Structure 1
Amino acid sequence: MHVAPMQSPTPRWTLVSLRPRGGHDSLRRAAARHGGGLVALSPWQLQDRDDAASRTALQRALSADAVVFTSPAAVRAAARLQALPAMVACAVGSGTAAALRRAGVAEVRVPGRMDTEGLLNLPELAASAAGRIGLVTAPGGRGALQPALEQRGIEVLRADVYERVPVALPRRAVDALRDAPRPPVLALTSGEALQQVMGQLPADALDALRTATVIAASERLAAIAREAGFERVRIARSPRPADLVAAACGPDGGRVPVA
């Protein structure tokens, strides 16, 4: 007897992700648990820096009193350049902290508030405690962090161990945004990514994106969304996929986002 294959249910709402190419799986799974589908609008892909200058900068950064890693990608790129030594490592969030522990780093500090402001509140980054701070990141990453540390009189040893290489938005993803149920939900974890995507989208697809309810990972990103013309903006508890989707679905955990 022939058995027809199971058909995937049609998603009841759409989450738009601006994460780098290949980095959408966790958001896709989180949305699917609440009946949502995902449109992956990657404005760039991540590429390691593997040259003598990057290696030297990383060695200097890792010699500091404490070392800040701004993303899981920064941890992975650094670990590919060299084995990470014993150190006090400060992670911007739980994902970065988990990547550090997988890389063998035992002393990891994570702020309660997973953003730049939360990092700056860590005791290890106070002016009285820190002489030199290593910063392992990418060009453009956590742009407010280094100036804030330097204003405290802290010497920052920066190592850009990977970079974001701009890529064209996938045509299929742009078409999916046009056809998505309205309004979509935009998971916003990077202001630079939003700028890149809005600059690439054709007018009709940009109009579709502007109808979105924005779920921002921080108050700073919420302000960026409002300045970009988005009218419905909510703030998630953290940048973690589960928290972004939970903020989209409302306090009752409903399976369709609330406006």
Structure 2
Amino acid sequence: MKAPAFDAAAKPSHPSLHGATLVLTRAAGSAQSEARRARALGGHALLLPGSRLAPAADAAAARAALRAALRAPLCIFVSPAAVRAATHLNALIATPRTRVLAVGAATARALRRHGVFDVEIPARADSEGLLALPVLTPPPLRVGLIGAPGGRELLPQALAARGAQVLRADVYRRLPARLDRRHLLPLQRARAPLYVLLSNSEALAHLMQSLPTASRARLLAGTAIASSARVAAAARAAGFAQVHQARSALSADLLAGACAVHARRRGGGA
């Protein structure tokens, strides 16, 4: 009999990560809250940033692009980092007719902290969830997209295919993180089971490029907890044999996915 498909997003009744190592790949300096949550669940948190955030290379050009994006009938902020970077360039003042979308709840909270209170978010916190919103099917003729180069390329491509002029404002950059012995030695010594939390495919690509061979092999021996189907596919392409998909890129959902996989493993499942 074929075994039923396992839903890594399902939450066990008593979530625990006791005895597990959680590899956190969020950008440098942004995983502290996730690390605290992992430790609270009994896991050991290992910081292995896949990227570091930097200001836009040309601040004047980014500021002009941001102003144009904020004048569109609808604008989308792709991450809390996009909100922070935008506020460093310019006050977040949209026209009264501008609708503001955020990829997820964390981005919406960042916007509200900076005075943008009327924010719409999708039920599913990723590009696919955004694109399913009625306001984007079809989108307005002009859509502002505020984020970083690379990253969520599905959004501008899909919006353009639906007839929108996408006004991009790349207000920050994601660069490969500077990894050293402080990151590599703990990874080599990490105890199994190893769960690698992946919130985006760009960070994974940076890690695959920058990690030494032995460290890369150690990472790939773990179980990837991916934030979306797209990130799960990237994890398999990178060489992860064990990949499970969480509900979203939110820390709570990634950790819930890890808890579910860990519970299944401790219960004797594959």
- Give the letter aligned to residue 245 of structure 1: L
1:114 aligned partner: 125
1:40 counterpart (20, 42, 47): 47
Distance 1:31 1:237 in 2: 17
Per-residue deviation, residues 96-143 of structure 1 (Å, max 9, x unmatched): 01101111112111001111100101122222x512100001011211
1:126 aligned partner: 137
What is the deviation of 1:253? Answer: 6.9
What is the deviation of 1:195? Answer: 1.3
1:144 aligned partner: 154
Distance 1:176 1:94 in 2: 32
2:91 aligned partner: 83
1:98 aligned partner: 109
1:209 aligned partner: 219
2:260 aligned partner: 250
What is the deviation of 1:239? Answer: 1.1
8 Å CA contact retained: 1:249, 1:255: no
2:249 pairs with 1:239: yes
Cα 1:219/1:26, change in 2 over 3 Å: same
What is the deviation of 1:22? Answer: 0.4
Higher mean alpha-carbon deviation, 146-155 vs 40-49, is at 40-49
Per-residue deviation, residues 173-223 of structure 1 (Å, max 9, x unmatched): 111011011231000111111111122222221121111111100011111
Match of 2:140, SS?
A: coil
What is the deviation of 1:41? Answer: 1.3
2:195 aligned partner: 185
2:22 pairs with 1:15: yes
Distance 1:161 1:119 in 2: 20
Higher mean alpha-carbon deviation, 113-122 vs 11-20, is at 11-20
- Give the letter aligned to residue 73 of structure 1: A
Distance 1:123 1:75 in 2: 23
Two-structure CA RMSD over aligned residues (Å): 2.1
What is the deviation of 1:166? Answer: 2.5
Distance 2:224 2:215 in 1: 16
- Give the letter aligned to residue 59 of structure 2: D
Q: Extract unaligned runs of 5+ from structure 2.
A: 1-17
8 Å CA contact retained: 2:156, 2:166: yes
Match of 2:231, SS?
A: helix
Match of 2:75, SS?
A: strand
Higher mean alpha-carbon deviation, 213-222 vs 46-55, is at 46-55
The alignment's TM-score, normalised by the length of structure 2, stands at 0.86
Which of structures 1 and 2 has the larger relative contact order (alpha carbons within 8 angstroms, sep 6+)?
2
Q: Extract unaligned runs of 5+ from structure 1.
A: 1-10
8 Å CA contact retained: 1:70, 1:91: yes
1:59 aligned partner: 67
Distance 1:82 1:256 in 2: 51
The alignment's TM-score, normalised by the length of structure 1, stands at 0.90
Distance 1:170 1:120 in 2: 39
Per-residue deviation, residues 219-242 of structure 1 (Å, max 9, x unmatched): 111111112221111111121111
